[in-house]
Structure 1
Amino acid sequence: MADIFDVIADGTRRDILQLLLDRSTRGDNGTSVSQIVHELGVSQPTVSKHLKVLRDAELVSVREEGQHRYYSLATAPLDEVDDWLVPFFSVDPVAATLPEPAVHAAEAVGRAAAQAKYAVANAFRKLPGR
C-alpha cells in the first residue's frame, strides 16, 4: 500500500476526497466518476487515475451497478494521518511537564478540538450564499 501521506499530497486527490466527504454528509450513496468530473472540472482519465490511487490506498470504496461505478469515502486510513498530527495540536510547553496520563488527556482534547473546528468550518461552508 502506498504511503498515505504521498496519496493525500496531491491536490486533485484531496479535492476528490473533499467532494466525497461533502456528498456523504448529504446522505449520497456514492458518487459516479461523471459527477466527480463535472464537479471538479477535471478530465475523466485524470479522475480515473486518481480514483485508482485512492482505491489502492483504501481511501475510497467502489460500488458497481451495471456499467456505473459509485465511489464513497473510506476514512479509516486517515487515522494514521490523524495519529501523526495530534501531537502537533497539543504541543504546549506546559504539557511537556505533565505526567504521561495527562499528556494523553491533552492529546484527546486536542483531537476533539480539531474535529470540532473542522465540523464548524464545514457547516459554515454549506450555509446558503457561501
Structure 2
Amino acid sequence: MADIFDVIADGTRRDILRLLLRRSSEGHDGTSVSEIVAELGVSQPTVSKHLKVLREAGLVSVREEGQHRYYSLSPEPLEAVDDWLVPFFVDEAELAEEAAAYVALPEPAARVAESVGRAAASAKNVVQSALRRLGA
C-alpha cells in the first residue's frame, strides 16, 4: 500500500476526498463516478484511476448496486496524517505544563478525551480551509 502522504499529495485525489466529505455531510449515501466526473470536470478514466488509489489506501469504500458503484469517504487512514500534523499546531511544552496541572483521567475517559480532541482539531482545520477558500 502507498504511503498515505503520497496518496493525498495528488490534488485530484484531494478534490475527490473533499467532494465525498461534503456529500457525506449532506446526507448522501455514496457518490457515483459519473457524479464525481460532473462535479470536478475530470475525465471518467482519470477519476476511476484516482478512486482505485484511494480505495487501495483505504480512504474510500465502494458499494455496488447492479452496474453502478457508489463511493464513500473512509477517513480513518487520515488519522496518521492528523497524528503527524498536530505537533506542528500545538506547543508541546505548553501542553506538558497544562497536563501536569490536571488529575489523570481514568483510561477509558482519556481515550474519549483524545478522540474528542482529534475531532475538534480536524473540525478546526476543515473550517479554516473552508474560510480560506471563501476568502474570509
Using structure 2 for the length normalisation, give the TM-score: 0.75
The corresponding residue for 1:114 is: 121
4+ residue stretches of structure 1 with deviation over 6 A? 122-125
The corresponding residue for 1:72 is: 72
Total equivalences in the alignment: 120
Q: 1:95 to 1:7 in 2, by over 3 A?
A: same
- 1:1-130 matched pairs, under 5 angstroms: 1-91=1-91, 94-95=93-94, 98=96, 101-102=99-100, 111=118, 114-118=121-125, 120-121=127-128
Where does structure 2 lack aligned partners over 5 or more consecutive residues? 101-109
Q: 1:119 to 1:76 in 2, by over 3 A?
A: same
Give the whole-Å Cα distance in 1 for the aligned partners of 2:124 and 2:76.
20
Give the whole-Å Cα distance in 2 for the aligned partners of 1:124 and 1:28.
23
Q: Match of 2:76, SS?
A: coil
- Deviation of 1:31 (Å): 0.1
Q: Match of 2:81, SS?
A: helix
Question: Cα RMSD (Å) of the superposition?
Answer: 2.9
1:99-124 deviation per Cα after TM superposition (whole angstroms, max 9, x unaligned) = 5945xx9xx69746533423545786
Does the 8 A contact of 2:82 with 2:122 survive in 1? Answer: no
Q: 1:89 to 1:123 in 2, by over 3 A?
A: closer
Does the 8 A contact of 1:89 with 1:110 survive in 2? Answer: no
The corresponding residue for 2:104 is: none
Where does structure 1 lack aligned partners over 5 or more consecutive residues? 126-130
- The letter of the residue matching 1:117 is K
Percent of counterpart pairs with the same letter? 74
